[in-house]
Amino acid sequence: METIFEIEVTKIKGNKKVTVQDTVIREVKLEIIVNDKNVGSLMAVCVDLKELAVGYLMSEAIIENVKDISKIEIVDVDTKTFQVRIDAKVVEANIERLDLEGVIVSGCGRAVSTQISKIAIDAAVMQDDFSIDTTLLFEEMGKFYTQCPLYEQTGCVHTAKLYYDENTYFIGEDIAQHNTIDKAVGKARLAGVDVTKSFLMVSGRLSSEMVAKAVMHQIPILASRTASTCRGVNIADKFGLTLIGFVRGDKMNIYRNPQRINVK
């Protein structure tokens, strides 16, 4: 299925009206089937669907290790619906918790999550000695959008980038902000990369569910060009995450845990 397609639009500039071709993003419904049970549905851009499913399931602690997955496949149900079907060793209690305690997150779309609950976040406080230089973060954020083809083509998606080293990084693009993290982290997990030695950049606000996803994967640094919510800051504080907003040019605001950022 094509990810983008062209439509005819009427463009007005000043007192001129013209008809032109424009590109728009395609979104589909993704059903995540684990051991023949539907554990959730997401609205998503129809790329990197396997990675999205893996990232989502690990964010929710339903799958603890990528090695626990024995089979994964995509099923094309119809023109608007896909399924990712996975056979895996799972934490059944967390599937049940998702059914009972799931909340609607503040990202785009009607996504359900439990990982922002005080009880549900079952992650250790990060006490690593991982750090990066300010110059690296400024450089990578500066070229962030040039590495995101769907954003360049349509301007209609959120983006995330998980950086491990100059040759190893993972891009996630989607209409839903939280999906971008799941896609990027899903790619990294499937590639066997240690995400605890990486940092994560996102295009949108640092809301509670975005921060919680970084915590669940023990990614030590999360940065954005925009701001954090109060709850996002509180979660970062509680679990030792370095949370950074307004990374623009040679400036940034470090909300919590600045010790991982070396000024160079």
Catalytic residues: 108
Q: Read out DSSP for 188-224?
A: HHHTT--GGG-EEEESS-B-HHHHHHHHHTT-SEEEE
Cα–chain center distance at 231: 18
Other Cβ atoms closer than 10 A to 147: 14
Residue in this structure with the two tokens 């295009």, named with its chain if needed: 203
Say if CB 57 and CB 185 are below 8 A apart. no
**C-alpha distance across the termini of the chain, in Å:** 46
What radius of gyration, in Å, describes the C-alpha atoms of the chain? 19
Tell me 57's DSSP state.
Answer: H
Say if CB 6 and CB 22 are below 8 A apart. yes
